[in-house]
Amino acid sequence: MCTATSLPTGARVGGGSEAPSEHKGVGQTSDKQTFLAVVLSVCVSEASCRQLPNATARENRASQCGVANPTRIVGGMEGSPAHKYPWQVGLGKQGYYGYSCGGAIINNLYVLTAAHCFFDKEGNRLSDEGLVVGVGDHIMTSSNDDVAGVTKEVPVAKVILHESYNPKAYDYDIALLRLGQTLDLASHSQVRAVCLPDDDSKTYVGENAIASGWGALGFGDSQPDALREVMLPILSTCLDNTGITERMLCAGYEEGGKDTCQGDSGGPLCVKEGSKFVQVGVVSFGDGCAQARKPGVYARVTKFLTWIKEKTSDATYC
């Protein structure tokens, strides 16, 4: 979804980047069920910032988060205008072309993404050497849309995986990236943070969410040049998907046709609350892409708010 470099993981995606490995279930592999790599929801900082609030409490904000830039995936469309979702980043490696996963800026030091992005298809931990995130990007193959001093690759200082994540399974598929540079979230509209939920009991069932990324336009297809977005309803059931836990949510259509896909993993799934976007999901896995009764599965952000707060205590939230 973002312009940067790609992680050398399992299955190749268009443009020379590589997608996360494919999985069927715990300890099983399949050519259909895949980790997808996308994450949604962002906080935007325009002035002063604050620390992350308690999961169940709402604070008055001195500045706003989750503010998309003024308008205008499988079955989706190009995110328009460029930099519409300024929290969107792409994960890659120096010296590699394209992005292998997505992520979302949540404060001035951290990106929220999926844990499976850092393992190969056999479940082996990949090297973090040369890991970068692309910020302020829109068209992956061109610098024409880049903003001087804003669009850049930021080195990753540390990958923080959830302690309960098992690379042979799907649960706890969440990770944080501590950046090697502090992000300026107040000066440029192209780089902002996404909002995190204030209420850890909210399910968001029935609400329409936006997923964004540079993932493939169809199962086995190549990645698009420009960041794409797709609207997906959050479901009360995961239909024919199996192995679903309380730390997951499903979004999509019973008839299929629209979905996230390979290369979207770790990217944000966001709902709009008033004028701001709140990240409620992180792209995790699915049975193929956009199949009937097989909606995409996302890590449920509300179940990880305490963990995120503990791991990012040195950061400033908007």
Using DSSP's 3-state secondary structure scheme, residue 83 falls into coil
Q: Which of 83, 265, 284, 287 is catalytic?
A: 265
Residues linked to residue 161 through DSSP beta bridges, in sequence order? 175
Of 238, 291, 236, the residue nearest 261 (C-alpha)? 291
CA distance 177 to 281: 16
Q: Which of 137, 145, 171, 173 is catalytic?
A: 173
Using DSSP's 3-state secondary structure scheme, residue 310 falls into helix
Of 125, 119, 79, 100, the residue nearest 36 (C-alpha)? 100
Q: Which of 23, 83, 116, 138 is catalytic?
A: 116
Q: Is 265 a catalytic site residue?
A: yes
Contact call for residues 295 and 241 (beta carbons, < 8 A): yes
Q: Is 201 a catalytic site residue?
A: no
Residue 255 structure tokens: 């008839």
CA distance 129 to 111: 17
The DSSP line for 145-205 is: T--TTTSEEEEEEEEEE-TT--TTS-TT--EEEEESS----SS-TTS--PBPPS-TT---T
The set of catalytic residues is 116, 173, 265
